[in-house]
A and B are shown apart, each in its own frame.
Chain A
């Protein structure tokens, strides 16, 4: 196998993962999706470290990746606990909630701008229900019941 080409391929994949994670972290507003993007950047770093370890013929890269895994597990536990607490207080996972953090007596400036920008051009889609074909025989209508019930 061409070791240098392998090294280059791994570094490019790792760079793409880190770049995509950056894009997601900057652009997405859901806390959990932002957390996913950070984990994706960590994956890119892991790939890069392992490729460098193979290039040098040592195991140091793999050992470092193992510690990255351990730290990522700790981070996941704490971040999920904090996200859950935020959701219980606010009812959503939007990072715009953090703009309301302020000292008592200080004006909040960003909230109105954010809510104005959050307007959607396309309405939220209606939930779709399954269409059930009618089965069996339609019952005979009772004119007496139709007289006093609005909906038979």
Chain B
């Protein structure tokens, strides 16, 4: 039964992704959305019951939200909409992390990804906004092949997961440890901080240095061409704002 559900989800998902990806025409997008929803339902139906109805419903809601908005991110033509749908994916992921008890990571996902990375991305999109919808946004490379590759990857992953699940012991190592009175930590955030700044202290310092280097590198990449007094022409295909010259003088 599970095997057939997985196979059905994979086949339907491939067709749905092919229909949903931008192909230069709109025909079949609604059919793709319906097929995609069915495939998502079949994929989530393979998960055994988690426990009470509230837990189950919350998991289905969060997982469905995350995957559906990820599909929208991939398939929408306007890159601004893609970014907004990706924001929803991030909120779904953060919800799933909270659901697992990883509170700090859930908060960090929202703060760093949705708050910083996504906003930077929207800034760049607004700076680089061509007139209308660009042709390269309305036509994907080899949509059928890409969809096939994606679902084959999903099929391989899920086959691996199900075979791992069969080989798993009845109790997870975490449950065994909890029975022996060795809980990983009462307050997850403080336990994570203690772990981070004891065993992984060097890695934390290296990550901080990496962030600083990336900051300097990004500034150097953007600023290398802007000399004072230089005139930068506005790129072709962009819309000059009203009452603004067609070129910018660097001060």
Question: Are chains A and B native binding partners rather than an unrelated pairing?
Answer: yes
Residues of A within 8 A of B (CB): 1-13, 15-24, 26-30, 32-33, 35-37, 39-40, 43, 46-47, 50-51, 53-60, 62-63, 65-67, 69-78, 80-85, 87-96, 117-122, 124-125, 127
Top 5 A-B pairs, shortest CB-CB distance: A57-B174, A91-B235, A74-B214, A23-B150, A15-B157
In the complex, what's the smallest C-beta–C-beta distance from B168 to chain A, in angstroms? 6
Please provide the chain B residues from 23 to 72 with a CB less than 8 Å away from any CB of chain A in the complex.
24-26, 43-44, 46-51, 55, 59, 63, 66-67, 70-71
- Does any Cβ of A come within 8 Å of B231's Cβ? no
Q: Which residues of A contact B158 (CB under 8 A)?
A: 12, 15
**Are B237's CB and A91's CB within 8 A?**
yes
User: Given A17-B70, A59-B185, does the pair A47, B138 have CB atoms closer than 8 Å?
Assistant: no
Whether, in the assembled complex, B147 has its beta carbon less than 8 Å from a beta carbon of chain A, the answer is yes
- Minimum C-beta distance from A51 to chain B (A): 7
Q: Which residues of A contact B196 (CB under 8 A)?
A: 63, 66
B1 at the interface (CB under 8 A from A): no
Q: In the complex, what residue of chain B is closest to A93 when comparing beta carbons?
A: B128
Contact A40 B70 (CB under 8 A): yes
B7-25 residues with Cβ-Cβ distance < 8 A to A are 17, 21-22, 24-25
**Size bin of chain B's contact surface:** 35 or more
Given known contacts A73-B116, A84-B127, A54 and B218 CB-to-CB distance under 8 angstroms: no
Residue positions of B touching A, CB distance < 8 A: 17, 21-22, 24-26, 43-44, 46-51, 55, 59, 63, 66-67, 70-71, 73-74, 79, 82-83, 86, 89-90, 93, 96-97, 100-102, 104-105, 108-109, 112-113, 116-117, 120-121, 123-125, 127-128, 130, 132-143, 145-147, 149-151, 153-154, 157-158, 161-162, 165, 168, 171-175, 177-178, 184-185, 191-192, 195-196, 199-200, 203, 207-208, 210-211, 213-215, 217-219, 221-222, 225, 232, 235-238
